Amino acid sequence: MARPVNYKRAVLLAFLIFITLAVVKATVSQGWQLSPLGSAARDITGPLQGVAMKVGQGVRGVFSFSLGLVKMSRQNQEYRKRIEELEGSLRIYQEYALENQRLVALQNFKSATANPLGFDTMTAAVVGRDPGNWFGTITINRGTLDGVAVNMTVITPAGLVGRIISVAKNTSEVLLITDPRSGVGALLQQTRAPGLLQGTVSTRGRLQMVHISSDIKVEEEQVVVTSGTGSLFLGGIPVGSVSKSGREPAGLFNSAEITPYVDFSRLEEVLVVRGTRQAEGDALSIVLPPWGQGRIPSGSPGSIRAGEEGAPAGQGDGIVEEPQGRNRSPATGAKKPGQGSSGNVIPQNQGPPAPANQDSGQPAAPGGSGGQGVPVTPDTGGRQTNPTHPENLPAEPGQGTIVPGTAG
């Protein structure tokens, strides 16, 4: 059945179409010219369009920013991870660089100082320390397999560190000179006055030099070197400088507090002196002081233990042939009869290690061994003997203060 036509709607639709056509007709422009109606419409809607555009851009910005944030966050994480990796690598490289610097310094020292003095040295790394605050021992990563033996001297470019007291296959234990059980025969460099260096407590980083003859004036900043006289330690190794001087409680001898050159809390690499050979003839002209200012190192480290019988009096007095122009002071030469000679070499690792408190053959050991209380003539010998810290010395070998041939 046909649906009845709604005339009202049809008329309304026709009217709407007619109006629209009329508007179309009215807004048709000539060429690109806006009609008045189109112009009015644009003027009205223009600002609205602007607002709408800005809102749209804002909304798009919010969406893109959020999406960007997620992306940036991911990138940020990756970058951070990368930065951490790179920083880790950088730290490792810095560590290598520092280690390299230290090893180069050790190598320079070996070629410029240790070799001319006749030291056969070997580099070792410190791998452990005594856990307490009282004793001063370190463990190094060299043992019998590397030729290390008990009583070998341990040094750094700055000076004396200590000596080997026990050896395993791959590690060794070093008794630092600051350990209260340690004793080292030593000399005041300028006056050649002998004395005995005793450790106090390792962590204090100080040494006590005792049994210095009372007629010797001990002044601050004087350099102390190992005497090498009948000692387990090689001679001529700088130990430290005098920081305080005084009289022993008994009043018979002078004593001094020594600040060691070596920073024992920062030891990382050391040199083990495996043996010695004849020093080069002009060693003292190229070695930087205070190295070699005691005696020319001789014999074998650890060859003589405290209390051992040495050569008969008058034989092998331990004074090796010294280079031309080199003076030996009465103090360093003073040895009691029968005292051992560093020239009489005993194979290094024979016999047990020395007992505690007898580390050195101490020229000035209690009870009066060689050199103790002997009037000593200061050894100037034409040499300049200004105390000089090894760290402050010029880097080039041969710039030392000793002029060949001027001594004696």
Partner 1 sequence: MRLLAMLGLILLALFLQITVLNEIMLLGVKPDLLLMLVVFYAFLRGPREGGFLGFTAGLMADLAIGRYIGLNALSYLAVGCLVGLLESKLYKESSIIIVVLTGAASFLGQLVYYSLLAYSGIYVSPMTALSVMLSSSVYTALLVPLFYKKFHRSSTRGWLSGRET
Is 265 a binding residue for partner 1 by CB under 8 A? The answer is yes
| 269-292 burial: b if 16+ Cβ within 10 Å, else e | bbbbbbbbeebbebbbbbbbbbbb
Cα of first residue to Cα of last residue in the chain, in angstroms, is 147
Is 89 a binding residue for partner 1 by CB under 8 A? The answer is no
Is 79 a binding residue for partner 1 by CB under 8 A? The answer is no
Nearer to partner 1, 314 or 367 (CB): 367
The C-alpha angle with vertex 47 and arms to 41 and 52, in degrees rounded to 5, equals: 110
Q: Cα separations (Å) of 1 from 5, 6, 7, 209? A: 12, 15, 18, 134
Is 166 a binding residue for partner 1 by CB under 8 A? The answer is yes
Is 94 a binding residue for partner 1 by CB under 8 A? The answer is no
- Give, as ranges, the residues between 114 and 133 that touch partner 1 (CB under 8 A): 128-133
Total residues at interface with partner 1 (CB under 8 A)? 21
Is 180 a binding residue for partner 1 by CB under 8 A? The answer is yes
Distance CA(165)–CA(272), nearest Å, equals 12
Taking the complex as a whole, how short is the minimal distance between the CB of residue 179 and partner 1, in angstroms? 9
Nearer to partner 1, 141 or 203 (CB): 203
Taking the complex as a whole, how short is the minimal distance between the CB of residue 134 and partner 1, in angstroms? 7
Determine which helix (DSSP H) or strand (DSSP E) holds 81, and give its type and residue range: helix 36-109
Distance CA(170)–CA(73), nearest Å, equals 51
Nearer to partner 1, 275 or 353 (CB): 353
Is 254 a binding residue for partner 1 by CB under 8 A? The answer is no
Taking the complex as a whole, how short is the minimal distance between the CB of residue 91 and partner 1, in angstroms? 15
Nearer to partner 1, 240 or 400 (CB): 240
Figure out which of the listed residues 108, 203, 344, 380 binds partner 1, where binding follows CB under 8 A. 203
Is 357 a binding residue for partner 1 by CB under 8 A? The answer is yes
Distance CA(305)–CA(230), nearest Å, equals 8
Distance CA(350)–CA(397), nearest Å, equals 36
Is 358 a binding residue for partner 1 by CB under 8 A? The answer is no
Nearer to partner 1, 200 or 243 (CB): 200
Figure out which of the listed residues 356, 396, 403, 408 binds partner 1, where binding follows CB under 8 A. 356
Figure out which of the listed residues 135, 233, 261, 291 binds partner 1, where binding follows CB under 8 A. 135
Distance CA(85)–CA(379), nearest Å, equals 60
Distance CA(231)–CA(166), nearest Å, equals 18
Task: Name which of 141, 147, 140, 144 is nearest 161 in CA terms.
Answer: 140
Question: Which range in 134-142, 156-164, 227-235, 238-246 contacts partner 1 by CB under 8 A?
Answer: 134-142
Contact 268, 125 (CB under 8 A): yes
Figure out which of the listed residues 115, 137, 172, 298 binds partner 1, where binding follows CB under 8 A. 137
Nearer to partner 1, 180 or 333 (CB): 180
Residues paired with residue 290 on neighbouring β-strands, in sequence order: none
Is 102 a binding residue for partner 1 by CB under 8 A? The answer is no
Is 169 a binding residue for partner 1 by CB under 8 A? The answer is no
CB within 8 Å of 125: residues ≥ 6 apart: 140, 141, 268, 269
Is 352 a binding residue for partner 1 by CB under 8 A? The answer is no
Is 204 a binding residue for partner 1 by CB under 8 A? The answer is yes
Is 394 a binding residue for partner 1 by CB under 8 A? The answer is no
Distance CA(40)–CA(355), nearest Å, equals 114
Distance CA(123)–CA(104), nearest Å, equals 11
Q: Which amino acid is at 195?
A: G
Residue 243 CB burial class (10 angstroms; 0-12, 13-18, ≥19)? middle
Taking the complex as a whole, how short is the minimal distance between the CB of residue 174 and partner 1, in angstroms? 13
- Give, as ranges, the residues between 278 and 317 that touch partner 1 (CB under 8 A): none
Taking the complex as a whole, how short is the minimal distance between the CB of residue 203 and partner 1, in angstroms? 4
Q: Which amino acid is at 120?
A: D
Nearer to partner 1, 117 or 262 (CB): 262
Residues making contact with partner 1 (CB under 8 A): 128-135, 137, 166, 173, 180-181, 200-201, 203-205, 265, 356-357
